[in-house]
Every structure is written in C-alpha cells, then in structure tokens.
Structure 1
C-alpha cells in the first residue's frame, strides 16, 4: 500500500492532470489566529495553483493553417494556437477552477483545526454539517481585566482583583454550567431529568438541538490554572466565537471578578483532530494530496456515523 501511494505521488510531481484529479476530498488544515477564513481559503487555493502550474501542463491546442493557391495543391500545416497560449489566456489553473468550502467555520480570533472539502469533497462537507457533530475547544482566559469585545484585542474597560480565586472555585462553576445545560436539554424536550423517558433518551447518544441557533454545551472543565490565566476545555454545538468569549466573561462575573478570553483553539471536530491538520508552512500540493488520502480513509471507515437519524432534541411542546 505504501509503495503504491509513493509511486502515485511521484507521478503527481510531473503531471498536473493526475494531481488535479487527486484533489477531490476532505482536507484538514490548521488555521492560525488573526487570519480570516477567506484569507486562509485564498492562501490554500493560491498555493495549489502555483504548484499545479509549475508541473507539466497541457500544451496549447494546435491551429490548422491552409495556405497556397486554391487552383493548385495547397499546403496544410499546424502550429500552436495563440488563443490557447498561457501568455494570452493566463495560467492553466486559476483560483476560479477550485471549489473549497469549510465544515466548521473559524472566525478571525479563533485558531485550530479547520475541515474543508475541496472540489468533489464538498459533498462530504454537507454530510458533516448534517451530522451535527460536536466541536471541542481549548479556551484560554485571563482574570482581572475585561474588554469591550470580551477578547484580549479589545479596549480594557474594567479591572478587578483576582488573587483570591482558586482552581476549585473555577471547577465548581464549570460543573454548575454543565449541569444547567443538561437540564436545559431535557426541558426543551419536555421531560423530567429524573424520569425513565429522560434516561432512555440519554442512552441514545448526545442530544442535539434541531434549531442551529440554540448553543449547547456537553462538557466544560478547567484543564489548567496558573493565575491569572486559566484554560477551559469545552465540547459544544451551534456555538460561535462570541458565545465562547461571553462564556469566559460570565465565568469571571460568577467568580466575583472579571475575565477576558485570550485564545480559542479548535482541537477536534467530528471524526478529525489536530493530528490530521496541516500547518501553514506545509500548505503545498504534495502534502494536500497525502492529507486527502488520510482524511478520505477516516471518512470511509466511519461513514455510518454520518448516516445517523435526525437530531433527538425537539422544540418544547406548546
């Protein structure tokens, strides 16, 4: 298997047509912080275009010419068509030729794993979204200051003492938040948490909201505390960056202090984690082709997980 893969990759280095056909599937990349999704997308496509155009590309089509006296034998010859020459029409591979969409959108302030579908792999992105898979984050915060944007890049609007805050206080509030979201799940279903029906619903798997506007937290815990900084590990669904920043702000308020988010890193989404993510310095054609093989293997081995029934959570009965 390894020899077969290596031989295919050797062919990719020389023939752009083979490489183009290989660019169909799922890729996992690491989006740096302070970079927008569109910026990362444009960088990926730009580098793919550069690598493909550096390979052996299709030659210009031949232009047939017929010259001579029409009353005599005429000369027929061919030459490269200027209408199809790269200097006239541009490079063979251009950004508009690519289709690249993302399954888990990461905003400018967020970093980490970003799962994308390229060309034919776009269909799997829709299936990943429909599976409503939870996303895991590591969220770092700092105690003692609050900003107008709830993020470290904002303007500081309030400061407070924090040296009295201990790790066990954060753990208690995280446990309280998680319990509150668990109650909310069953309340939306119209069930009592102590009932048999609630138990039977819980054993079926994570309860996922039908409404994508309802954020839900399945697990939240403090995994590191070095005052004034702390790190939360959060598993959630239907979240966005502002929701996670607000969560850190609310945690500071419940600690009778203030807190600001300083980092949001996605480390797991659906079937993928950071082990599959390509760093920006590795964003090149050969690495993307290898990454597609790895990600497509994971998709094929766990395809049944993407064919789950519709979400369990329903709206409250009126």
Structure 2
C-alpha cells in the first residue's frame, strides 16, 4: 500500500480474485455488501478527485460580460454523495454457500468476475469438514432444529466408523462410472479413470470423491469430504445417513469449507481484514494462483490438492 496514494490508483488495482472467510450464519449477499461497503469507505478516505468547478457568465448581453469560475454543487460530495459507492464495483462469487456454511469463499471483483466465471465452469472440487453429534436427531438435520429423537451412542467404535467411510467411498466411486454410463469393469472405464477425476455431465448431481473421519470424540465427530456439485441439504443428509448406518441418530452441528480448488483456508481473509489494504494484497496472491491454474486441465489441479489432503496428518 506504500505506492497507493490516491483512490484512483487503488481503484485500478481492485481487479481479480479475492479469497474470503465467510462466517456461519451470514448470507453471501450480506458478505458481498459488507466487503464492498468497506472497500468504498477506504477508497473515499484516500485522496479523491476534487469537485470540478463551473463557469458562470453574468452581465448585460449588450455590454461586456463577466466570466467567473465558481464551485459546482452538482459535483460536490455533500450533494451527490461519496465519490465511490457500492454500485461502482462489480463483485460475484464463484459458488453459492448457504448461510449455515462457513469457510473459503472465492469472489471476483471488477474484471475478476470473468475469472470467477471461468473457475466455476471448470467444476472444481471442494473440501468440507462436517461436524456432527451422535445420539440426537433434529427435524431439519441441523443442531438448531427441533429435537425429534435421542438415543445411545456409547457402543460406536472407531473401527466401525472407518469401515463405514470406506463403504461410502466405494459406493461413490461406483456411482462415478454410472454417471459416465460405462461399465466399471471395462477397458473404457480404466481409460477414463486414468485420465483423471471422473466428473458428472451435469452440474446438479453431487459426486463424492473422498470421505474420512478425522476426529471421533463421542458423541462428537468430524468428517472430511472431497465433493463436487454439493449443496447444503446434501451435506446435512450425509451426516444423517452416517448416523443411520451406525445404527444411531446423528445431526450436523457445523459445516466448514476448507478448500475451493487451489484456494485454501490459509489464504482466506477474516471479516476484520476485509479492508482495502488486505484485499489488494490478497488479490495479488490469488491472481498469481489463478494464472498458474488457468492453463492446466481441471482434473490435474484437483488431483494435486486431493493428494495433499490425503497426506495431511490430523491430531
């Protein structure tokens, strides 16, 4: 920020991809509003364009006229408002996150809206941490809903959970070939799998690429999933299904997105850092990451980060 002295220079630099940390309980529209509001406030605090004067010609038309330069109220910030307003900035998000979901949220600002659209068209995988609680079931499958059932959970062992995770992942891998309409035992299926991740032909069919339990502290547990085309109700029903398969009830307590394609939670800006200085610095880093990925096939990118997720060690 040492080289940004005027709001005009700062506005020109506001173009690209920014990675934010979306809090739980806040909608994407509200996040977008808060981001643009703070950016406009910081831009107006910098040196802005002074009001343009107006030329006033007075006097008798039959005699020599007087030409004066006076301040123009039509261009005064006290009349027309601040120099920069929310409508001056374009901003879209790459994928929709429901209000209950927190974590990585990638947004495109100004010319970065095209970059965000390009990333979304690549159908990148996302990684979520699903937190759940055993022994309880609610009406909406989330912890804030009405409790409809309670039960025992002390009989559940770690080996039972790991076995269930393997079963779910195996069923999901079989579903990949079903969506591709090929026999999983055929040479075509082998060639298709060798090319990379098998993606669904439509963007409304959730597909699970990996699932594992990273924490089990009864009655609480945390499951990490690598998924594509997900939505909130599907993630809630996944936690609910885990409880049913374990012959117990379960409800989701939190959903957190920790990675979106190449953008991870370490790059995401907290709400207190949604300022012009931090956003400009984040834009530079995210734009460099985008330039590395734009020429690579989507499956190569996802394979790289899925392998990194599998190597991660959790306590």
TM-score by length of 2: 0.92
Give the paired residue count.
Answer: 300
Distance in 2 between residues matched to 1:47 and 1:172, nearest whole Å: 48
Distance in 2 between residues matched to 1:170 and 1:78, nearest whole Å: 79
Distance in 1 between residues matched to 2:112 and 2:172, nearest whole Å: 34
Q: Is the 8 A contact 1:28 1:295 kept in 2?
A: yes
Distance in 2 between residues matched to 1:304 and 1:125, nearest whole Å: 15
Q: Does 1:226 align with 2:207?
A: no
Q: Does 1:188 align with 2:179?
A: yes
Coordinate RMSD, CA, aligned: 1.4
SS at match of 2:2: helix
- Within the candidate set 279, 298, 303, 1:288 is matched to 279
Q: Does 1:129 align with 2:120?
A: yes
Q: Is the 8 A contact 1:127 1:306 kept in 2?
A: no
Distance in 2 between residues matched to 1:201 and 1:148, nearest whole Å: 41
Q: Is the 8 A contact 2:180 2:200 kept in 1?
A: no
Q: Does 1:272 align with 2:263?
A: yes
Q: Does 1:106 align with 2:106?
A: no
Q: Which runs of 4+ in 1 moved over 4 A?
A: 306-309
Distance in 1 between residues matched to 2:208 and 2:215, nearest whole Å: 19
Q: Is the 8 A contact 1:104 1:269 kept in 2?
A: no
Distance in 2 between residues matched to 1:104 and 1:69, nearest whole Å: 65
Gaps of 5+ in 1: 1-8, 310-318
Per the alignment, residue 60 of structure 2 pairs with 69
Per the alignment, residue 151 of structure 2 pairs with 160
Per the alignment, residue 302 of structure 1 pairs with 293
TM-score by length of 1: 0.91
Alignment of 1:230-245 (within 5 A): 230-245=221-236
Distance in 2 between residues matched to 1:167 and 1:127, nearest whole Å: 41
Per the alignment, residue 306 of structure 2 pairs with none
Per the alignment, residue 51 of structure 2 pairs with 60
